[in-house]
Amino acid sequence: MTPPARRRQRPLPFWRRLSSTGWLLLSLVIGLAGGLYYAWVVDPVIFTDASPARFNDRYRETYIILVSQSYAVNDNWPLAQQRLAALDDPEIAQTVNNLLDTAVRQQRPAPLLEQLAVVARQLGAQGPAIALFAPTPPASDLQPTPTPAIVTTPTNTPPPTGTAVATPTATVSPTATRPATATPQPNYRLTEQTRLCDEAEAITRIEVIVLDAFLNDLPGIEVAVSWQNGSDRFFTGFKPENGRGYADFEMSPDISYTVYLPDGSPEVSGLRIEECASGFSGGWQLTFQNLREGNPTPAEEDE
C-alpha cells in the first residue's frame, strides 16, 4: 500500500515571522525616517534674523570685510563698533588683525587691505600689516594749527596846525620764496622694535627681519651697524632656519649701537645690552618692511 503524499508547507509571510520586538524596531525606524523627511524636505527650519554670532568662520570673515567696507564709505565708527559687537567676539581686535594678515598673504586687493587695516587700528590692534596699510597720521595732520590773523587798527591823529607832516611811503620788500623740495620716501619702514628677553638664558644679539610689501622674507639685504669706534655689515638669509629675511649681530657690553639698511631706512640708535625682568641680559629685534618691492614669484618661494 502506497503512503499518501505529504503536502509541501508554504513559508510564512514576512510580517508573520516578526516578533513583537521586531515590530517595535521596525516602527521606530519608519517613524525616524518619516520625521527626518518631514523636517528636511516637507517643512525645513528656516532661520531669519539670525545673530552674526551664529556665523561659521567663513561667514564671520565675510561679515568683517563688509563692515570694514561700510566704514570706509560712511566713516561712522560707532555704527561699525555696533556691528562688530554683534559677533560677540571678546578678541575682535586680534580677529580682525589675523584676517588682515591672511588677506595680505593671499594678495587681496590693496583697497580691501587698507579697509581692514584701518578697522584693526581703530580697535587698538598693532602689527606690521597695520603699520604698512594704515599708518597713524602725524599729530600735525590730525590737528592743524590755524595761523592767527594780525589785525592792525589805524589811529587817525590830526597833525598840529602849521606843522608839515611828511607821509612815509610804505615799502614792501618782496619775500623770497624757496621752492618746496619733496622729501624722498625711504625704501624701508621700521614696523616693529621689540626687546628680546628669555627666562632661562641671556640674549646679547640684535635680530633684524626684513620683509617685502606683502610680508614675505627678503634674503640678501645688507644691514649696517655702527658704534662709537667701529662699524660692521651683515646680510639677511644666511640662517634660513630662522627665516630667509633673518640676520643677527652679537653685541658687546656697555656699547650703544645704531642699525639701518643702506638701501634706505630709518636709523635705529641706542641699542645696547640691557637687563630684563628675569635678571638675564636682553637684546633687540627690529623688523623692516620694504615700501616698494612686491612679493617674490612662486618659483622663488619654492627655492
Tens digits of residue pLDDT in 68-105 = 999 999 999 999 999 999 998 999 999 999 998 888 87
138 pLDDT band, cuts 50/70/90, is low
Q: Does residue 45 or residue 253 have the better pLDDT?
A: 253
Q: How far is CA 292 from CA 132, 186, 207, in A?
A: 11, 9, 23
**pLDDT reading at 291 higher than 50:** yes
In this model, does residue 151 exceed pLDDT 50? Answer: no
CB contact set of 80 (below 8 Å; sequence gap of 6+): 67, 68, 70, 71, 119, 122
Query: Are residues 298 and 141 in contact, defined by beta-carbon separation less than 8 angstroms?
Result: no
Average pLDDT of span 163-170: 46
Is 50 exceeded by the pLDDT of residue 142?
no
- At 140 the pLDDT is 46
| Half-sphere exposure of residue 285: CA atoms within 13 angstroms, side-chain side | 10
Model confidence, pTM:
0.46
Q: 204: closest CA among 242, 241, 237, 253?
A: 253
First to last CA, the chain: 100
Best CA proximity match to 190, nearest among 133, 240, 265: 265
* 3 state DSSP class of 280: coil
Q: Give the model's pLDDT for residue 209.
A: 95
Q: Which three cell numbers stand for residue 209?
A: 627681519
Sign (positive or negative) of CA dihedral 182, 186, 192, 195: negative
Mean pLDDT along residues 270-299: 81
Give me 246's grid cell: 633673518
Residue 56: pLDDT band by 50, 70, 90 thresholds?
confident
Mean pLDDT, the chain, as a whole number? 79
User: Is 3.40.50.1450 the CATH classification of the domain at 188-302?
Assistant: no
- Domain residue ranges in the chain: 52-133, 188-302
Element (H, E) at 207: strand 205-211
Mean pLDDT of 106-128: 86
- Please report which residue ranges of the chain form alpha helices under DSSP H: 14-17, 20-37, 57-74, 77-85, 92-105, 110-122, 128-133, 139-142, 298-302
pLDDT band at 239 (very low <50, low <70, confident <90, very high): confident
User: What does residue 70 show for φ and ψ, rounded to 5 degrees?
Assistant: -65, -40
